[in-house]
Amino acid sequence: MSFRTTTAVDYVEDVSPGAGALPPRAWYASSDAKSLSLNGSWRFRLSATVDAEDDSFAAEGYDAGDWAEVTVPGHWVLQGHGSPIYTNHLYPFPVDPPRVPTENPTGDHLRVFDLPEDWPALSEGGAVLRFDGVESCARVWLNGTEIGEFKGSRLPHEFAVGHLLQTVDNVLAVRVHQWSAGSYLEDQDQWWLPGIFRDVTLLHRPAGAALDFFVHASYDHVTGEGTLRVDSDVDGRVTVPALDIDVATGEAVTVPVLPWTAETPKLYDGFLATEGERVPLRIGFRTVVLEDGLIKVNGRAVLFKGVNRHEWHPEQGRALDLETMREDVLLMKRHNVNAVRTSHYPPHPAFLDLCDEYGLWVIDECDLETHGFVEQDWRDNPVDDDRWTPALLDRAARMVERDKNHPSVVIWSLGNEAGTGRGLTAMAEWIHGRDASRLVHYEGDIDCRDTDVYSRMYAFHEEVERIGRGLDGGTHKRRRLPFILCEYGHAMGNGPGGIADYQRLFEAHERLQGGFIWEWIDHGIKDPRYGYAYGGDFGEELHDGNFVCDGLVFPDRTPSPGLVEFKKVIEPVAITGDGTDGTVRVTNKQDFADLSALAFEWSYQVDGETIEAGSLSVPSLAPGESVDVKLPEPPADTRRAETRWTVRALLAADTAWGRKDHEVAWGEFPVTARPSPTVVPTDGPVVGERLITLGPAAFDTRTGALRTIGGVSVEGFRLDVWRATTDNDEGAEWQSDTRYGVLWRTLGLHRVRHRLDAVEVGDAALTVRTRVAPAAREVGLATVYRWTSDGDRLKLTVSVTPEGDWTVPLPRLGVRFGLAEADQVKWFGGGPGEAYPDSRAASMVGRWQSTVDDLQTPYVRPQENGARADVRWAEIGGLRIEGDPEFWFSARRWTNEQLDAARHRTDLVPGDTVWVNLDHGQHGIGSQSCGPGPLPQYFLKAAPAEFSFVFSEIG
Ligand code: GAL
C-alpha cells in the first residue's frame, strides 16, 4: 500500500501566494498612528522537517523557556543554527516543482509582547501585523489563532489582527520553512538564508486611517510646473505647505515647482490627512517617458551610471540596518554613481527613502528568478505555467503597491533570469495597467515583447557598439527602444577591466543609456577561519565558490580599486587639456545639474611634486556645455624635469552626501615630458673568485646572478612572467577558448625554468644569457640581462625574444627579486591605488608613499593585485629604482606562487622577504569571470621586448 497524506503543511508546496494576508498597499510610517516594533530577541526552535513538531507552540501558555533565542530581523543560519548555502543558479534541491525536500529546515519563532501604555484602547480602530521580509515561507498565529501563511521572501505581508490583540501577553508564533514552492521563484545568485530577516511591526489602524494611496507627481519641463494628485482609498486632504497646496485627495493641482532628479533630488514635504490619520509625504515631481526611442526624465535623456545592489552585511546577511543602507547610498553618491538596480528583489523600503532623499535613479526589481530551470532547457519553468501566474502577479503587485510613491523609482523590473513565458507577460500587463508613469524592464525579454527598454547583460563592447549604431537588428519593436546593460563589468576579484571603454560607447551613442556594474558588494561572510567565507566553506554539497564575491566594495564596504576606477570613469565633469597650450577644457556631463555645486582648483607639478596651486574660475555650465579655461602662466622652473597640470573639481560646500572639498573629478595633462634616466657605462665588470663586481653591485661569478647592490642584498633576481591568476583571468567555465588563466596554467607558465646559457664579461658590461621555458613545451623566452654601471649606479637592460609558437599572451613580463628588509615604499608614478592596463583611469601620476602591507588589495579570494602603473622611480628597501620606460611596480611579503595558492585571506602569511616585481607589461584584466576578456589593445603579446632599470643604493 502506498499513500501520501494530505496534511496541514501542504501550503509549503502550494504554488499559490498564500492565504490570509491583506491586499498589498503603499508602505509608509504614519505620523500619529501608533506602531510597535516586534524586532528583537525571539524564542527559536529549529526542526529538520516541516512537521517534526506540531503547532502547539502557537497556543497561549506554551512554555518555550528551554528554546534558543535568535535576533529578529535575522537569519537563523547566521546565528548558530544550521549553515548558509551558496549557489549561483543551481537549485540546491531536486528540481521537481513545486515539491521540495523532506529535509526542510523549519524555524519556529515565538515572541510574547504587551501593548505599550500609550496604545489606544482595543475598541478603538484595528491593528495590522506587518512582515517586511521572511525567507521563504511562513505560517503565523496570534494568540493561538492562525492568521495566515505566505511566500514572497522580500515582499511585505500584512494581516489584520485587531480582533485578536490583547493588552498583555500577546503570543506571536511564526513558523518559517527554508524551502517552499516559493523557493522555485527565488533562485537568485546569492546565499540561501532562511529567517525573518526584515522588520516585524504591529501598526495601529485608527478608525478613518489611510489605507492605500498613490502619489502622482509629474513635472512639465516646458512650463516648469508640477501636477500633484494623490489618489487615496480613504478620502482626505493633501497639503504641501511650501507649495501652498491644500487639496482634496483625487483632485489635481498644478503649480510651479523644482523638479526631482537624481542630480537635484528636490523633495517637498507634505501630508495626506484622512479622518483618522496623518501620513507624511515626500513628494518629488518628475515625469518619465519613452520618447524618440529614449528614456527621458523631465524632457531629457538620462545616462545611467549604475550598480546592481544586493542587500548584504558580512555578519547580518540580508538583515540590514538603516545605517548600513545609508552607508551604501553615501558611498554610491561619493563615487559618482547615479543609479541602482535593486538586484534581484525589492530592497528594504527604507533604502528607497534614501534614494529619494540623496538622489539615485532606481530600477526596482521584483523578487523573481527561476534560473535553475536552464539546466533542463527551461522545462516546467513556473513563469510559463498558468498555475503559477497568481503567485507572479502577487509578487508584482506587492512590489508596485509598496514602492509606487518613490520618485527615485523610474523603472519596474519583472525579475531576473527567469526565461520567458506567459506569466511574465501577465506581470508586465498588470504593471503597465497599474502604473503608466514608469517603464517596464526585464532582461530576459530579448525581443522586448513586454518591456519598454532593450536590456542585456555582459554584452561585449563590439556588440554594444553595434546596438548603439542601430545595427543590431532584432524585432521592429526592439529596434525603436533605448538600450541599457542591466549588468556589465563583472567586479569579481581584481577588476573589472574595460569599463572606460564601455563608458566611451555610452557617451558616443545616444541609444546607449548606460549600465549597471555587477555588482555593488562582495557577499563574503565574516568567519574567523577565513577572514571572509564564500561558497563551499560551509560544506555545501553544491556550491559556486567565490562567485558570490564580485562586488565593487569588500564585504565590510571598504571600496575596492574597482569602485575607485568606476568613480573616475563616470565622472560628471570631464577635465581635459593638452598642457602645452595652457588651457583646460571643462565639460559638464550631467543631465540636469549645472556646475554651481563645484569649485575648481589647478595645481602644477614638477617631477610629481606640487609647487604651486590655486583656484580656477569655471563658469557654471549647463548640462552638456563645455568651456576652455585659460590656466595661469606656468611657474618658472629651469630644472630639467617632468611637469604637468592637474585640475580638480571639488564640492564647493558641504552637501547631504559629501563634505566641502570632496573630489568629484580631476584631469591631469603633461607639459614637459620625462627625461629618460641615463647611465654612461664607465665602469667594467671585475671578475673575482666567487663574485664579479660592477660599480656598486656584485654578481655570482658562476651564474651571473645579482647578489648585492651596495649594502643591499638581493635574492632570486630573474625574469618573471607569472601572476596569481585573477578571477577574470580564470574566466567563467562556460567560456572555453579565451580563458587565459586556464591556458597559462596548461602551458605551464606558473612553473617556468630558467636555463643558464652564458655569463659574458665584457669591457663595459656583464651579460647573462638565459632561456626561460616550461617543461613539456617547445615555447620559451630567450632572455638576456645586460648590466652596466657608471660606478655609482647600476643599469640593467633586459631583452626578451619569444621562441616557438606562442598562442597565448603573457600574464606579465618583468623581473622580480627579494629584499631582506623593506617596509616603506615611495614612488613617482601612478597611484595611489592599483592599476592594470584596462583599469587604470583612476591612477594619478604623482608622488606617493605606502607601506608594503598597504600596497596589497585584500581580495576575498587572494589573487594578483596591487600593481602601480607608470612608475618612473620607486624607493624600497634601501634601493632606488628608475625605469626606462616607466614600469609597473608591486611588492609583497609572499611570492606570487604563494599568492596563487591562497584560497582565503588567512592563507597569506607574511615571510621575511619582500618580493618586488618590476614589470614592463601586464596583461589586461577584462571581466571574463562573467563577461568579455580584455580588449585586444590590452593584451600583453609574447613579442620581442627590451626594457631597462637603473638601480642605486639610497645613501
Ligand atoms: C548574472 C545574474 C546575476 C549574477 C551574475 C554573475 O547572470 O543576473 O545574478 O549571477 O550573472 O555574478
Q: What integer pLDDT is reported at residue 737 of this predicted model? A: 75
Task: Evaluate if residue 493 carries a pLDDT over 60.
Answer: yes
Which residue out of 518, 543, 728 has the highest number of ligand 1 atoms within 8 Å of its CB and is therefore the one to mutate?
518
User: In this structure, which residue's CA is closest to atom 3 in ligand 1?
Assistant: 189
Question: How many A from CA of 935 to the centre of ligand 1?
Answer: 21
Write the DSSP string, 189-220: SEEE--EE-S-EEEEEE-TT----EEEEEEEE
Question: How many A from CA of 550 to the centre of ligand 1?
Answer: 10
Residue 343 CA, closest ligand 1 atom number: 9
Residues 933, 925: Cα–Cα separation, whole Å:
7
Question: How many A from CA of 907 to the centre of ligand 1?
Answer: 28
Is the separation of the CB atoms in 338 and 360 below 8 Å? Answer: yes
Task: Evaluate if residue 110 carries a pLDDT over 60.
Answer: yes
Grid coordinates belonging to 438: 514608469
Q: Which residues in the chain are classed under CATH 2.60.120.260?
A: 10-205
Would you identify the CATH topology of the domain 572-672?
Answer: Immunoglobulin-like (2.60.40)
Task: Evaluate if residue 492 carries a pLDDT over 50.
Answer: yes
Is the separation of the CB atoms in 15 and 387 below 8 Å? Answer: yes
Is the separation of the CB atoms in 907 and 469 below 8 Å? Answer: no
Q: Which residues in the chain are classed under CATH 2.60.40.10?
A: 572-672
pLDDT digits (tens, 9 = 90+) for 364-387: 999 999 999 999 999 999 999 999
Which residue out of 417, 490, 547 has the highest number of ligand 1 atoms within 8 Å of its CB and is therefore the one to mutate?
417
pLDDT digits (tens, 9 = 90+) for 383-415: 999 999 999 999 999 999 999 999 999 999 999
Is the separation of the CB atoms in 344 and 246 below 8 Å? Answer: no
pLDDT digits (tens, 9 = 90+) for 666-703: 999 999 999 999 999 999 999 999 999 999 999 999 99
Longest dimension (CA), the chain: 106
pLDDT digits (tens, 9 = 90+) for 258-279: 999 999 999 999 999 999 999 9
Radius of gyration of the chain (CA): 31
Strand partners, 160: 128
Strand partners, 525: 533
Which residue out of 90, 187, 188, 189 has the highest number of ligand 1 atoms within 8 Å of its CB and is therefore the one to mutate?
189
Q: What is the mean pLDDT of residues 65-79?
A: 98
Q: In Å, how far from its chain's centre is CA 411?
A: 20
Task: Evaluate if residue 92 carries a pLDDT over 80.
Answer: yes
Location of C-alpha cell 501598526: 203
Helical (H) or strand (E) element with 260: none
Confidence of residue 6 (pLDDT cuts 50, 70, 90): very low
Residues 626, 624: Cα–Cα separation, whole Å:
7
Q: Is 87 in the pocket of ligand 1 (CB under 6 A)?
A: no
Indicate the angle between helix axes 322-334 and 349-358, nearest 10 degrees.
Answer: 30
Q: What integer pLDDT is reported at residue 736 of this predicted model? A: 72
Q: Is 522 in the pocket of ligand 1 (CB under 6 A)?
A: no
Is the separation of the CB atoms in 526 and 314 below 8 Å? Answer: yes
**pTM exceeds cut of 0.75:** yes
Q: What integer pLDDT is reported at residue 7 of this predicted model? A: 58
Q: What integer pLDDT is reported at residue 524 of this predicted model? A: 98
Residues 534, 523: Cα–Cα separation, whole Å:
8
90: DSSP letter = S
Cα distances from 117 to residues 33, 130, 142, 161, in angstroms, run 14, 21, 20, 19
Is the separation of the CB atoms in 816 and 716 below 8 Å? Answer: yes
Question: How many A from CA of 465 to the centre of ligand 1?
Answer: 22
Confidence of residue 638 (pLDDT cuts 50, 70, 90): low
pLDDT digits (tens, 9 = 90+) for 857-875: 999 999 999 999 999 999 9
Catalytic sites, residue numbers? 417, 487
Residues 342, 557: Cα–Cα separation, whole Å:
17
Residue 519 CA, closest ligand 1 atom number: 12
User: In this structure, which residue's CA is closest to atom 6 in ligand 1?
Assistant: 930
Q: What is the mean pLDDT of residues 177-205?
A: 98
Residue 550 CA, closest ligand 1 atom number: 12
Residues 304, 306: Cα–Cα separation, whole Å:
5
CA atoms within 13 A on the CB side of 247: 18
Q: What is the mean pLDDT of residues 699-716?
A: 97
Q: Is 416 in the pocket of ligand 1 (CB under 6 A)?
A: yes
Q: Which residues in the chain are classed under CATH 2.70.98.10?
A: 686-953
CATH among 3.90.550.10, 2.70.98.10, 2.40.50.140, 3.90.1150.10 for 686-953: 2.70.98.10
Q: Is 365 in the pocket of ligand 1 (CB under 6 A)?
A: no
Q: Is 549 in the pocket of ligand 1 (CB under 6 A)?
A: no
Q: Is 487 in the pocket of ligand 1 (CB under 6 A)?
A: yes
Task: Evaluate if residue 362 carries a pLDDT over 60.
Answer: yes
Confidence of residue 1 (pLDDT cuts 50, 70, 90): very low
Q: What integer pLDDT is reported at residue 4 of this predicted model? A: 46
Percent of the chain with pLDDT over 90: 97
User: In this structure, which residue's CA is closest to atom 4 in ligand 1?
Assistant: 189
Which residue out of 86, 87, 88 has the highest number of ligand 1 atoms within 8 Å of its CB and is therefore the one to mutate?
88
Question: How many A from CA of 487 to the centre of ligand 1?
Answer: 8
> Strand locations in 607-751, DSSP E?
609-616, 626-630, 643-651, 663-672, 686-687, 691-694, 697-700, 706-709, 712-720
**Cβ-Cβ contacts under 8 Å for 597 (sequence gap 6 or more):** 651, 652, 653, 655
Q: Is 369 in the pocket of ligand 1 (CB under 6 A)?
A: no
Is the separation of the CB atoms in 909 and 894 below 8 Å? Answer: yes
First to last CA, the chain: 92
Residues 463, 654: Cα–Cα separation, whole Å:
42
Q: What is the mean pLDDT of residues 431-438?
A: 98
Nearest residue to 927 via CA among 597, 467, 459, 277: 459
Q: Is 571 in the pocket of ligand 1 (CB under 6 A)?
A: no
Confidence of residue 657 (pLDDT cuts 50, 70, 90): very high
Q: Mean pLDDT across the chain, nearest whole number? A: 97
Nearest residue to 612 via CA among 639, 590, 634, 581: 634
The architecture in CATH of the region 10-205 reads Sandwich (2.60)
Backbone angles phi, psi at 934, to 5 degrees: -60, 150
914 three-state secondary structure: strand
CA angle 568, 573, 574 (to 5 degrees): 75
Residues 855, 850: Cα–Cα separation, whole Å:
6
**Cβ-Cβ contacts under 8 Å for 936 (sequence gap 6 or more):** none
Location of C-alpha cell 655569463: 759
Residues 428, 414: Cα–Cα separation, whole Å:
7
Q: Is 418 in the pocket of ligand 1 (CB under 6 A)?
A: no
Q: Is 417 in the pocket of ligand 1 (CB under 6 A)?
A: yes
Residue 930 CA, closest ligand 1 atom number: 6
Q: Is 485 in the pocket of ligand 1 (CB under 6 A)?
A: no
Is the separation of the CB atoms in 602 and 632 below 8 Å? Answer: yes
Q: Is 189 in the pocket of ligand 1 (CB under 6 A)?
A: yes
Q: Is 518 in the pocket of ligand 1 (CB under 6 A)?
A: yes
Q: Strand order in 35-37's β-sheet?
A: 35-37, 200-205, 126-131, 157-160
Percent of the chain with pLDDT over 70: 99
Residue 490 CA, closest ligand 1 atom number: 12
Residue 88 CA, closest ligand 1 atom number: 10
Confidence of residue 3 (pLDDT cuts 50, 70, 90): very low
What single-letter amino acid sits at 667? G
